[in-house]
Amino acid sequence: MTVLLVILLVLLAGATLYVLVKGVIGMAQQKDITGQRSQQLMRQRVMLQAGAIVVAVLLLLMASGKH
């Protein structure tokens, strides 16, 4: 179970990084005049970060329960 959570945490962190880079590149190109795409990417990033935090908390709870 721990290995699965670690893999999930790495995937969530990677996806968060991907969305972050995609947003930064989009802002640098200045193609999104209304900012709607930037907002959508920010929402995705926040949701991925929240998922990563939940998984990290679960891992910490599992680790503290083993002692």
* Helix extents (H) in the chain: 2-29, 36-65
The residue with tokens 């929402």 is 43
The amino acid occupying position 15 is A
Predicted confidence (pLDDT) per residue in 25-36, tens digit: 988 888 877 888
**Is pLDDT above 70 for 66?**
no
Q: What is the DSSP letter of 67?
A: -
Residue 11 pLDDT class (50, 70, 90 cuts): very high
